[in-house]
Structure 1
Amino acid sequence: MKVQRQVGVAALACAMVWQLVSGVTVNAAGTKLTLSSQETITSGAIMKNYVWSTTRSNKEVSVNANVIEVDLTNPNVKIDAMAGTNNQFTKNQSVLGMVKDTGAVAGVNGDFYNTQAEGVPEGAQITNGQVMATPAKISGLYSFAITKTNQPIIDIFDFQGTVTAKDGTKFELGGVNKTFYWDDNDVPLIADGLFLYTSAWAMTQRAVDGTHVPTEALIQNDIVKEIQVDTNVKMVAPADGYILRGSGLAREFIVKHLKVGDKITTKYDMIPHDASKTYDWKNFKMLIGGSTLLVDEAKPSYFTRNINDFNGYSPVSRTAVGYSKDLKKAYIITADRNGPSAGMTLPELQQFMIDAGVWRGMVLDGGGSTQMVSRPLGDVDPKLVNKTQNGNQRAVANGLGVYSTAPKGELLGLILKGQSLLFVNESSTYQFKAYDDYYNPIAVTGIVPQWSSTVANGSFKENVYTPTMPGKTQIVAKSGKGSATMDVEIVGRDQITSMAFSSGSFSLTEGGDFKLPITVTTRSGATRELPAASATWELSGVKGTITNGVLHVDSTAGAQTAQVIAHYDGYSTMVTLPVGQEKVWYDLDKFAVMTTGDKYPAEVASSVNIVPNNGNKNLEIAYDFSKGLGTKAAYARFNNGNGAPIEGEPEFITAKVLGDGSFNWVRAEVIDADGKLNYVSFTENMNWTGWRKVTADVSDLKAPLLVKSIYVANPANGQDERAAKGKINIDDISFIYKGQLPSLPKNAIKLTVNKKQATLNSKPMTLEQAPTIVKDNTLVPIRFVTEALGGTVKWDDKERKVTVLRGDKLIDLWIDQTDLLVNGSRVTAEVAPAIMNNVTMVPLRLISERLGFKVGWDPQNYGISIE
């Protein structure tokens, strides 16, 4: 995000759920605030997780938002500002890194900063009472501070400072630890400015803008120790001194009025912009800068900066800070844009903050910088707990940390970790964490809890639980006054509502390996993948093996489909997979098409080369997007950009890509049968390194197709969040053609209620049992009907179960039970299957609907036609 040519960054902290408190509040503004969970982070700090809903462009959207409430009256917690690495500027790192460095229990990114400069905050910073940076001379920038009496302040601070030479000449000081920046009139303040740098600035170069040559002076104990004209002092400022940097008029001041050995006087002040305010920054415990004011007296404030400079009207990830009306609570806030969480505009953030209880609040940096870190209850190490906008943890200039100041306490509680949904005979290990009276972690070494379960349907061996029967129980762990329980459901057939393959649609190819995960949903609404070892498997149609839930196809032998059936505790499900074909189209070791490089715009540098990789050739696309404007791209063009024809109607295009972790896009240009150029994406977030097989869907494109190019792209929006230079490699571009399920026999059956005479394709047949009507439902002989229409029927005498297979449908029915299973989904019939004259009779309507029969009814003659 850019503000006055400065690019910003921000973050927040979170934790896992200890105490769940749910509730929904509908507000006058039409927004809805739902508290989904909350957890104590440490004594005096609570994480609250919200879902905030609003209407945007006539559509309802929801945002995952999080608030750390810090009790400013609690002596066991404090808020402080963090910086870079080891609390030094110019050594940017992620919020997680800063939290670990400083020993915080939670943290969030802080102020805006220029990503093209050394990496220092735009505004002021005070850490542990020490000045790290002073405010920029830019109007409308607010700061958040806490006084020595723990009173929160959000206000604008102005900077005043002078350096007085031994001869009495004074020169205005521009600020402390500032990079080059521009004022409200776009004037570069570094041009004639004099700036002071302390040991908090970790680089030996200061405010490098490529235009203004520095002249610097080293000051120790107020004595000039060294002067470097038109160059820099080759060191970081010592702890007992500072470095003055000047350009233009400030250079003349240093050259003409400072001499080695002179004693000089440097004074500066940070004063409230509002002259009626009287608080003194010298008594602040901490201070961190931000940008516009957002909330004032629990109402949306006017924006004190032009929010277009940092995408204020676009829904992105956001970070903010505020406090309550009684000055007793500080609120540290983030809102996510990632996946279903829709991000927030700044006007939306204003309303959310008001909904969450903020009396006065301001924005911190957001977008790709928003990071939320917290130490989960009972854990020693903090963790990133929000979903960042770009999937990475950006290195930022500074942050806001939450710290525990509590002494060590006694064991207060335990937290259990482990599976809450188990299958019969599935052993599961349960771990525990411990925390003290101040909600800080306790080492579990030496704590040996007693383990038990409330229902005798399993056994413990130390902390390993093995259930032997379906049902519900509670796992219990106790040690001293600390205890914890965890609800566990052991799944049996009667608890399952659905068991289905969740592998998606694909075609089998000979020699391929295909993972076949199965998802089980219980009556309580819980879902979990069925352990492959808990299932028994059947495979038909192709030759192969199923090991740990992975189907390896040895031979398709001309088969059109394969059927895989999985059973668990008498519950079954099936998937029918067509046999398809993957055709390699571009393999530089065997066959390819003419490939040339291209780029856009002209300022981009790129190259395309064939390179070896462990004896195999592949295509390398190197790019340099550091020059030029707008969207940039580096292309591998096929057949001089005219495109290479692709046979048939492929469903997918796949390629092996050696990623470079740049977050750039990888796409293909595909021309369809109408001559339209289509852009299909392999990835819009190349966040990996190493080889990965990627896939793009071309099933909606009208064949025949031409592949014009594959390319790396860096779109204009969010360009500063992607690498400008890098290279990727591409190999084995293939097309996947989906197989077809065979059509079922087109036989025709005619039956008559209460009559054994029937016809199959007009051929007379005699049934063992006539169709009959029970409770207004017509029952028909399932074996005759199914086999006549190309299916099969199996009988399990022990369970009194009938299994029907026809095409891609599997149905399990139990005699005298209204529940039946259709491809693993539980369905309830009005009438149960029954045995009449040793013939299994099933309800026609239900079976016909589930097996895809077309049924006709002649009410006058009680005739039934099935085909």
Structure 2
Amino acid sequence: MTVQRQVGLGALACALVWQLVAGTTVYAASPTLTLSSQETITSGAVMKNYIWTTTRSNKDVSVNANVVEVDLTNPNVKIDAMAGTKNQFTKNQSVLGMVKDTGAVAGVNGDFFNTQAEGVPEGAQITNGQVMATPAKISGLYSFAITKSNQPIIDIFDFQGKVTAKDGTSFELGGVNKTYYWDDNDVAMIADGLFLYTSAWAMTQRAVDGTHVPTEALIQNDIVKEIAVDTNVKMIAPADGYILRGSGLAREFIVNHLKVGDKITTKYDMIPHDASQTYDWRNFKMLIGGSTLLIDEAKPSYFTRNIGDFSGYSPRSRTAIGYSKDMKTAYIVTSDRSAGSAGMTLPELQQFMIGAGIWKGMVLDGGGSTQMVSRPLGDFDPKLVNKTENGNQRSVVNGVGVYSTAPKGDLKGLILKGQNILFMNEPSTYQFKAYDDYYNPILVDGIVPQWSTSTTNGSFKDNVYTPSTTGKTQITAKSGKGSASIDVEVVGRDQITAMTFNAGSFSLTEGGDFKLPIGVTTRSGATRDLPAASATWELSGVKGSLKDGVLHVDSASGSQAAQVIARYDGYSTMVTLPIGQEKSWYDVDKYAVMTTGDKYPAEVVSAVNIAQDNGNKNLEIAYDFTKGTGTKAAYARFNGTSGAPIEGEPEFITARVLGDGSFNWVRAEVVDANGVTNLVSFTENMNWTGWRKLTADVSDLKYPLKIKSVYVANPANGQDERASKGKINIDDISFIYKGQLTSLPKNTVKLTVNKKQVTLNDKPLTLEQAPTIVNDNTLIPLRFVTEALGGNVKWDEKERKVTVIRGDKLIDLWIDNSDLIVNGQRVTAEVAPKIMNNVTMVPLRLISEKLGFKVGWEPKNYGITLE
């Protein structure tokens, strides 16, 4: 079900009343929140997709956001915390992996964590009632919990604990399953600390910081089984025990007061920071840690942590969690910074959460960690819902999962999926899914639905529908009490308003393959790419082939341009592509310029070398960004600091790059005619390995150009999400220059209304039919004028259709039909083309505009000049 609604979001200081009614639009001050769609995940859980719009620096921005709403009163659903692989710390994996591992139906990433440490959360975690980690001794860190009675809690928890030896000596316990960290006073908590590790910590090393040597003790059933002085116990803690790790003063406690065979006592507690609260963590079903409080009583909270530490005032991807005023609904939230979505600052996230209905809420980890996963209705496999900030699914330490606890139910409904727009004789497969009374998926292997259509314009074979005529129909699948329908429009020429190539502007090069997608728009406003097999294709101007909508250019010798025509059901479109000139500039095997290495800042380690790949020489840039601060870069500089001049006015710079999957950037420094150094990006997300040809646009720069360097960069923002060490290889740097289209002949035609005498370049000629005026429109002889001014005309007797091609323009027109097709666009003329004395006559104004004629009008003598 899709619901549209908008809610105005006022300034943070405003007191707002939110009235969210499905299907209702409430207009107020910007920003606005629009519910674009929603879908049931399982009984008691709903996925809602929002579009949030606001203004930044006087520019409108839009953010995609997702909210999973969980009904805490529904016995068929629960929320729990997840961790790593198989619910173990130090085995980080994506949220999708954790959801699949634990059988969840939805989930998001959880707590903040040190990306350089072993992989455990900063705060506390309780999973299925079992303590996985305890809070860090850092102020302002909030946690989200669910009690045994399904009451949600957001609060700060403090940790208290101690270990008591057999001799009565006690030592303060620093926490459970904690890595090294620093408190608010920048004191290393591991330096003199004693920490406890359970079987949830899946490594044999614990809290390794490279400075503090551990001393550890293995405890089983409260009995000391082993003591490892100045080293670690070489095992993971057993299920019936734990490992104590100490250094500094804690080491002395272990060495001096614990002995193998002694019985010891370990106690700890997580108590509310607010002493007025009385809830007990021992009755919590789950708990997940986070950072600052965001929302309190449906109002923006003050920030309980310095949000600048995690880019709080910059638009990033965000994750948050909260609950409603009546404590009956939990909200799990993500917002995206990705292509087409501008991300949110934390103050903006506060506004969004209030608009979504959250009474109290807190932030979870964001940026490159933000991931939301959900199981689509009728599906067995969960899928990533949001677009992640770096295009990858980052491995994280923990998350929040949504679980179905419902029994199996009877078939309730079907979901039908397939194309809504079809073309004639295009076979299309329609798939169906099924779900039960609790909205959980049902296997469809044994279900054979009955297929039907509301019209007779096609046929079914199994679940494949092939339309035979144009028009609208409805496809229905039925099984038992479940059924689903989908509306389908079979498009023909009369339903099309536009059919255009979506290839963009580029020049062709010999040996290249160029995808030529065609988009179709119908009268109803629907759009879809035309299947290549549904079109008939024509190629002129170059030697090559067209297969599956891809043009391969074998030879372009002597040509300035290529014309590709595609037709479907008599509807035509054309694209004219210039032949570009690609000039190789840097090829280590053949020619290059003096190349030297450079780096920024000084702490960066880098090297530039000549490498070989299967005998092919190329440029290697090795980098080590582990030291230094801010944006870091490793350069290959050309001609020292002078740069190398580039001939002419290239549109693009291309290079082959051997990626290392580091998510770093690859750029070039290009100096324009004003002496300004422009940073031109080949990629801002190197998420691949292997060779890939990359292109960067330099057409907006002022010529002439110089190229100073190519380099790999790790910008300051999001730096911890990219590899700090690696190498890339670069080869075959080229520049592509724009091709020129063939010039049309510079002819001039002079005509006079109602006179057959004309001149072509001052040469007198006689027409079979004079120009004439019909319904205040001047009609001219199409073939004579078009051919005189460098075009071609074709006649189709069967359809009474005329096709005109002049330069990069193509027009299809039909006699006595006022609809014309101009470069794939349907245009309606005031007067339809007519045949007079066996001559096709067309409206002067429309044809001159569409074919690019220059028209001169002499009103006294009704004279017309075309050129």
Q: Which TM-score band applies after superposition, normalised by the shorter structure?
A: over 0.9
Deviation at 1:606, TM superposition (A): 2.3
Counterpart for residue 7 of structure 1: none
Instruction: Give the letter for the 1:286 counterpart.
Output: M
Task: Please tell me the residue identity of whatever aligns with 2:735.
Answer: F
- 1:258-297 correspondence runs (5 A): 258-297=258-297
Distance 1:157 1:509 in 2: 65
Q: Tell me the alpha carbon deviations over residues 657-685 of structure 1, each in whole angstroms, 9 at most, x when there is no partner.
A: 11111111111122333433222111111
Q: Which residue of 2 aligns with 1:114?
A: 114
CA distance in 2, matches of 1:507, 1:56: 37
- The match for 1:35 is 35
Determine the C-alpha separation between the residues in 2 that align with 1:710 and 1:201: 44
Matches within 5 A, 1:339-354: 339-354=339-354
Supply the AA of the counterpart residue of 2:473.
T
Within a 5 Å distance, the mapping from 1:654-693 to structure 2 comes to: 654-693=654-693
Report the equivalent of 1:615: 615
1:685-708 CA distances to partner (integer Å, 9 max, x unpaired)? 111112111001122233333322
Shift in Å, 1:73: 0.7
Deviation string 1:344-388 (CA, Å, 9 cap, x unpaired) is 111111111110100111111111110011111111111112100
For residues 428-577 of structure 1, what are the structure 2 equivalents within 5 Å? 428-577=428-577
Residue 385 (structure 1) aligns with? 385
Q: The residue matched to 1:505 in structure 2 has which SS?
A: coil
C-alpha separation between the residues in 2 aligned to 1:545 and 1:203?
58
Query: Where does residue 721 of structure 1 map in the other structure?
Result: 721
Classify the secondary structure of the residue corresponding to 2:650.
coil
CA distance in 1, matches of 2:323, 2:748: 76
Match of 1:64 in 2: 64
Distance in 1 between residues matched to 2:588 and 2:305, nearest whole Å: 55
1:784-833 per-residue CA deviation (whole Å, 9 max, x = no partner) reads: 21111111111111111111111100011111222111110111122211
Tell whether the 8 Å contact from 2:367 to 2:718 is kept in structure 1 after alignment. Answer: no
3-state DSSP of counterpart to 2:730:
strand
Q: In the alignment, is the contact (CA less than 8 A) between 2:750 and 2:866 conserved in 1?
A: yes
2:49 alignment partner AA: N
Distance 1:327 1:292 in 2: 20
Give the deviation of 1:417 after TM superposition.
2.3
Specify the SS of the correspondent of 2:303: coil
When structure 1 is superposed on structure 2, of 22-31 and 148-157 the one drifting more is: 22-31
CA distance in 1, matches of 2:807, 2:247: 82
Q: For each residue in 1:323-345, what CA deviation from the matched residue of structure 2 results, as whole angstroms up to 9, or x when unmatched?
A: 11111110000000111211111
CA distance in 1, matches of 2:311, 2:829: 56
Higher deviation after alignment, 35-44 or 50-59: 50-59
Aligned residue number for residue 396 of structure 2: 396
Distance in 2 of aligned mates of 1:601 and 1:348? 34
1:239 matches 2:239: yes
| 2:5 pairs with one of 16, 23, 30 | 23
Q: Which runs of 5+ in 1 are unaligned?
A: 1-18
Paired residue secondary structure (2:243): strand
Q: Offset at 1:847?
A: 1.2
Count residues in correspondence.
849
Q: TM-score, normalised by structure 2?
A: 0.96
- TM, length-normalised to structure 1: 0.96
Q: Is the 8 A contact 2:177 2:196 kept in 1?
A: yes
Aligned to 1:785: 785
Aligned to 1:807: 807
Q: Aligned letter for 2:782?
A: I
* Structure 1 residue 513: Cα displacement: 2.4
Aligned to 2:18: none
Aligned to 1:306: 306
Matched, 1:647 2:647: yes
Q: Which residue of 2 aligns with 1:840?
A: 840
CA distance in 2, matches of 1:231, 1:656: 49
CA distance in 1 between partners of 2:544 and 2:334 (Å) = 51
Matched position secondary structure for 1:187: coil
Partner deviation per Cα, 1:756-810 (whole Å, 9 max, x = no partner): 2222222222222222222222211111211111111111111111111111000
2:282 is aligned with what amino acid?
Answer: K
- 2:316 is matched with which residue? 316
| Structure-2 residue corresponding to 1:215 | 215
Give 1:840 shift: 1.2
Letter of the 1:555 counterpart: S
1:631: which partner in 2?
A: 631
**Aligned partner of 2:179: which letter?**
T
Q: Which moved more, 1:588-597 or 1:111-120?
A: 588-597
What is the DSSP-based 3-state SS (H/G/I as helix, E as strand, rest coil) of the residue aligned with 1:557? coil
RMSD over equivalenced CA pairs, Å: 1.5
Distance between the aligned counterparts of 1:50 and 1:789, measured in 2? 55
Give the 3-state SS of the residue equivalent to 1:651 in structure 2.
Answer: strand
Q: Which runs of 5+ in 2 are unaligned?
A: 12-28
Work out the percentage of aligned pairs sharing the same amino acid: 84
1:428-455 residue CA offsets vs partner (Å, 9 max, x unmatched): 1222221111111111111111222221
Question: 2:489 and 2:793 mapped to 1: Cα distance?
Answer: 34
Q: Alignment partner of 2:231: what SS?
A: coil
Give me the whole-angstrom Cα distance separating, in 2, the residues matched to 1:271 and 1:837. 99
2: CA distance, partners of 1:85 / 1:297: 36
SS in 1 for 2:850: helix
Deviates more, 1:362-371 or 1:422-431: 422-431
1:641: how far off?
A: 4.4
Distance 1:315 1:850 in 2: 45
Once residues 542 and 342 of structure 1 are traced to their aligned partners in structure 2, the CA distance between those partners, rounded to angstroms, is 43
Describe the superposition over 1:703-726 as per-residue Cα deviations: whole angstroms up to 9, x where unpaired: 333322221111122111111111
**CA shift at 1:750, angstroms?**
1.9
5 Å-filtered alignment, 1:56-205, equals: 56-205=56-205
Residue aligned with 2:743, SS: coil
Q: Answer yes or no: is the 8 Å Cα contact 2:9–2:351 preserved in 1.
A: no
Name the CA distance, whole Å, in 1 between partners of 2:86 and 2:548: 47
1:332-343 to structure 2, matched below 5 A, reads 332-343=332-343
1:28 positional shift? 4.3
Q: Does 1:769 align with 2:751?
A: no
